[in-house]
Amino acid sequence: MAEITTLHYLVVAAALFVLGVIGVLTRRNVVVVLMSIELILNAVNLNLVAFSRMWGNLHGQVFSIFITVDAAAEAAVGLGILIAFFRNTETINVDEIDLLKW
Amino acid sequence: MPNFVMSYLGSTVTPGEAGNQFWALIYVLIIFTGVSVAVIAMNWIERKALAHFQVRLGPMRVGPHGLLQPFADALKLMLKEDIIPAAADQFVFWVAPLIGLLAAFTVYTVIPFGPSQAVSDMNIGILFMLGVSSLGVLGIVVAGWASNSHYPLIGALRSSAQMVSYEVAMGLAVVSAVLMTSMNEKGTGTLSMIGIVQAQQQQGVWFIFKFFPLGFIAFVIFSIAMIAETNRAPFDMAEAESELTAGYHTEYSGLRWSLFMLAEYAAMIAVSSIAVTLWLGGWMRPFANLLHAPAWDFIFSLFPGLTFGSLAAIAFVGVTRMPAHSFFKIQRIGLAVFAALLGFIALLLLAIAIVGRSADASLAARFNEGIDYVYWFVLKVAVFMYLFIWYRATWPRYRFDQLMRIGWKVLLPISLGVLVVTAIVGVIVS
Amino acid sequence: MNPGMNSAFNSGMAPVATPFFFYMLSGLAIVGGLLVITRRNAVHSALALIVTLLAVAGLYLMLYAPFVAGVQIIVYAGGIMVLFLFVIMLVNIERSSKERRFNRMWPVGLAAACALMALFVSAFVKGRALFPDRMMSLPESSNTQQIATMLYGEAGRMGQYTFAFEIASLLLLVAILGAVIMTKKKI
């Protein structure tokens, strides 16, 4: 087996990113959509850490920690909105969230 | 004998650092066996101690003083029918106990029983331990959901809310201890479990006594939070039998149920080890800096043998106090054999202590040293295990809102305050 | 008995397994990602996502980023995923698991994602020369310390990312407040 280079990690990250995008664009369940966003953020993180290894400095790792913080905030707010929404409409499907005004 | 077997002997680092997979595997097997035996022993001790707290006898029939009761229980659980509810989610129901068990046992790879008596020494050791032990909650949540039944679901929701909120206070208490490791000339702290104990060795103080009472408060917060983390009384809301029958494992039976129990007790030992490592000096013996003459070393190295000797003496007293009826004949013989076994171990340990003292730097001396380290570590953990039983026997269960209030409104502010004050004191002192 | 044999044994063992672990972990991550977006049941999706997150944490370890791997395990697998499972149990899953999985616009979404994938493939094929074949090695043992120096700075000097770090803490505070206000029935 060949040696593992940055490109290998980038391919994995790209695959995860595309999977996440497919999830966001096609699924109905809001929880799964949020999970797909986590998948996208993870792909970005993997890219950053791989680049950090490639250039031999730690800026990428610091950035990935910031993205993790962002992911935590996004999950908290997103799930909060989801619960508030579920309380009002008894549904968690994205294509039923089509009212501009309640 | 192959090189990779012999080359590690005499090394002063863990097998993980030395890159010796063979000895790492041996250590993993030893720790796995040791933890399983400890869980079995804990089962017996808990039932006996609880019974004596409540002025009963506890298990007495299977073996002398019920000593074989855990084995009987284990056999029963293995032979029992393994029921999966029809409405349950088959795969998730199957995988849930394994998640908890894996999380509880993976933690043991970084627990330092001695400066080289650990499977590996990660430089993010304490982070790894907190992270992996927090994965255990996933097993509980998923088990409650997969059972597709009301009580397990409520138990799972309660335990996940409880564990997530107490993790915060726990993490902050741990951070204040990690902060204390950086109070040296260079100002470099460490997250490695072995490094934390070595920092206490260098500073000549266990962190529980450092900046008194700051270290002590952090320790108390951690030891409250760790009871909530492991879902033990008085915070055992998740399996409150008077409210939720058995909480998240109501629908489990047989071997799967015993896996949950194994995971719970293994997690108890794991969090106790974190507390011992961070605040109670890990493998160090008491007064290591005050009484450090070779004579003292020798006296303290006799302790393992003396402990087993006194256990053997207690067992012998038990033999003499057995009723002199022919019905108890087999039990008397059994207990006498058990006492003789303990006495044999005691003699062996004493012999190692004496031989290891006379011959310096030999294999026996190193072995003696290792036994000392492991003995003091295990003794400190055992004290915590006894405290777990004591709490369970003494305190009534909290209500759920009281539990949340304590976690968020009492423990969290105090631990934040302790962290800030520790940092300020550290800056002033250094 | 010879301590020098350790390193010989070590150098013979460790590097051989690297590609194997890479392919195993990345395979786990991608299979987990596939399961996340295809499972009907949200809890199964969440379990698959946990597998992906742990596999990615393993990849971080292979990239000499132990601190990021630890953060990944604590924050993602131990914190965020528990939150997800908690919310899945709070909202009604029984009904939604019997409905169809994908929304009405799924062909459009899939086409857009395929276009994105084509873009990635072309970028990798054309830009292959940009990436050096060999990787730099990072000091693993002082990783946490170096990250801390970048975030908080050394004695008397602010770190490169100290300001960004403070902003991040503000972001978290706002997120907590937002989540509490959103979910509370009456303030």
Query: Under 8 Å CB-to-CB from C142, ≥6 apart: which residues?
Result: none
Residue among B414, B400, B407, B410 at smallest CA distance from B168: B407
* CA angle, C44 then C94 then C185, to 5°: 100
Res. B2: pLDDT tops 80: no
Answer whether B144's CB lies under 8 Å from B152's CB.
yes
Percent of chain B topping pLDDT 70: 94
Average per-residue pLDDT in chain C? 79
Alpha helices by DSSP H, listed for B54-205, are 69-79, 90-106, 125-134, 136-146, 150-181, 193-203
CATH class of C14-98: mainly alpha
- Please count the other Cβ atoms lying within 10 Å of the Cβ belonging to residue B310: 12
Surface of B (103-142) touching C: CB under 8 A: 122-124, 127-128, 130-132, 134-135, 137-138, 141-142
Q: Do chains A and B touch (3 or more CB pairs under 8 A)?
A: no
C-alpha to C-alpha distances, B371 to B89, B377, C7, nearest whole angstrom? 47, 10, 27
Confidence of residue B272 (pLDDT cuts 50, 70, 90): very high
Residue A16 has a pLDDT of 92
Res. C95: pLDDT tops 80: no
Res. C12: pLDDT tops 60: no
Res. C27: pLDDT tops 90: yes
Res. A93: pLDDT tops 70: yes
State how far the Cα of B302 lies from the Cα of A23, in Å rounded to an integer: 64
Report domain extents, chain C: 14-98, 141-187
State how far the Cα of B123 lies from the Cα of B127, in Å rounded to an integer: 9
Q: Which amino acid is at B55?
A: V
Answer whether B87's CB lies under 8 Å from B117's CB.
no
Mutate to test the interface with C, among B25, B90, B141 (most CBs of C within 10 A): B141
Residue C11 has a pLDDT of 35
Q: Do C89 and B153 touch (CB under 8 A)?
A: yes
Res. C52: pLDDT tops 90: yes
- With contact defined as 3+ CB pairs under 8 Å, the chains touching B are C
Buried b (16+ CB within 10 A) or exposed e, A54-93: beeebebbbbbbbbbbbbbbbbbbbbbbbbbbbeeeebbb
Nearest to B142 among C47, C144, C155 (CB): C47
Q: Pick the residue with more confidence: B106 or B149?
A: B106
Coil, strand or helix: which one is B325? coil
Which residue in chain A is spatially nearest to C52 when comparing CA positions? A39
Residue among B408, B424, B74 at smallest CA distance from B258: B74
Q: Do A66 and C91 touch (CB under 8 A)?
A: no
Answer whether C47's CB lies under 8 Å from B95's CB.
yes
Mutate to test the interface with A, among C31, C64, C80 (most CBs of A within 10 A): C80
Q: What is the DSSP string of A78-100?
A: HHHHHHHHHHHHS--BGGG---S
Confidence of residue B414 (pLDDT cuts 50, 70, 90): very high
Res. B290: pLDDT tops 80: no
Mutate to test the interface with A, among C21, C50, C68 (most CBs of A within 10 A): C68
Answer whether B177's CB lies under 8 Å from B279's CB.
yes
Residue C96 has a pLDDT of 54
Buried b (16+ CB within 10 A) or exposed e, C54-72: bbbbbbbbbbbbbbbbbbb
Which residue in chain A is spatially nearest to C173 when comparing CA positions? A73
Average pLDDT over residues C13-30: 77
Q: Which amino acid is at B170?
A: M
Nearest to B4 among C9, C14, C143 (CB): C9
| Beta-bridge mates of residue A27 | C102
Q: Is B320 exposed, middle or buried (0-12, 13-18, 19+ CB in 10 A)?
A: exposed
Residue among B369, B345, B374, B347 at smallest CA distance from B294: B369
Strands (E), B3-71: none
Nearest to C9 among B10, B20, B187 (CB): B20
Q: Which of A35-39, B105-109, B285-289 has the lowest mean pLDDT?
A: B285-289
**Chain B contact present for C96, CB below 8 A:** no
Residue B359 has a pLDDT of 58
Coil, strand or helix: which one is A25? helix
State how far the Cα of B54 lies from the Cα of B74, in Å rounded to an integer: 25
To the nearest whole Å, the CA of C30 is away from the closest chain A CA by 6
pLDDT digits (tens, 9 = 90+) for B5-52: 666 666 677 777 777 778 888 888 998 899 888 988 898 999 999 999
Confidence of residue C49 (pLDDT cuts 50, 70, 90): very high
Average pLDDT over residues B132-154: 85
- Token pair of B40 as six digits: 């079995």
Query: Looking at the domain A6-91, which fold is it?
Result: Helix Hairpins (1.10.287)
Cα torsion B212, B268, B196, B116: sign: positive
Query: Under 8 Å CB-to-CB from A77, ≥6 apart: which residues?
Result: C175, C178, C179, C182
Answer whether A29's CB lies under 8 Å from A93's CB.
yes
State how far the Cα of C88 lies from the Cα of A30, in Å rounded to an integer: 10
Q: Do chains C and B touch (3 or more CB pairs under 8 A)?
A: yes
CA dihedral A65, A70, A76, A79 (to 10 degrees): -120
**For tokens 């409210």, what's the residue?**
B243
State how far the Cα of A7 lies from the Cα of C22, in Å rounded to an integer: 12
State how far the Cα of B37 lies from the Cα of B90, in Å rounded to an integer: 31
Query: Under 8 Å CB-to-CB from C121, ≥6 apart: which residues?
Result: none
What is the enclosing helix (H) or strand (E) of C5?
Answer: helix C4-13
Mutate to test the interface with C, among A46, A61, A81 (most CBs of C within 10 A): A61
Res. B257: pLDDT tops 70: yes
Q: pTM for the full model?
A: 0.87
Residue among C40, C45, C75 at smallest CA distance from C57: C75
Cis upstream peptide for B15 (omega within 30°): no
Answer whether B156's CB lies under 8 Å from C89's CB.
yes
Residue among B41, B213, B222 at smallest CA distance from B129: B222
pLDDT digits (tens, 9 = 90+) for B183-217: 877 767 888 888 888 888 888 888 888 888 888 99
Residue C94 has a pLDDT of 61
State how far the Cα of A96 lies from the Cα of B337, in Å rounded to an integer: 73
Q: Do A42 and C91 touch (CB under 8 A)?
A: no
For B403, half-sphere exposure in the C-beta direction (CA atoms, 13 angstrom radius) is 27
Residue B130 has a pLDDT of 87
Residue A102 has a pLDDT of 55
Residue A39 has a pLDDT of 92
Res. C92: pLDDT tops 70: no
| Beta-bridge mates of residue C158 | none
State how far the Cα of A27 lies from the Cα of A19, in Å rounded to an integer: 12
Res. C1: pLDDT tops 70: no
To the nearest whole Å, the CA of B364 is away from the closest chain C CA by 15
pLDDT digits (tens, 9 = 90+) for B393-407: 888 888 888 888 888
pLDDT digits (tens, 9 = 90+) for C58-76: 999 888 888 899 999 988 8
Nearest to C81 among B91, B138, B153 (CB): B138
**For tokens 């920690």, what's the residue?**
A65
- With contact defined as 3+ CB pairs under 8 Å, the chains touching C are A, B
Query: ipTM of the assembly?
Result: 0.89
Answer whether B174's CB lies under 8 Å from B207's CB.
no
Surface of C (28-87) touching B: CB under 8 A: 41, 43-44, 47, 50, 66-67, 69-71, 73-74, 77-79, 81-83, 85-86
Q: Do C78 and B153 touch (CB under 8 A)?
A: no
Nearest to C164 among A2, A6, A66 (CB): A66
Answer whether B149's CB lies under 8 Å from B85's CB.
yes
Res. C37: pLDDT tops 60: yes
Nearest to A18 among C42, C116, C174 (CB): C116
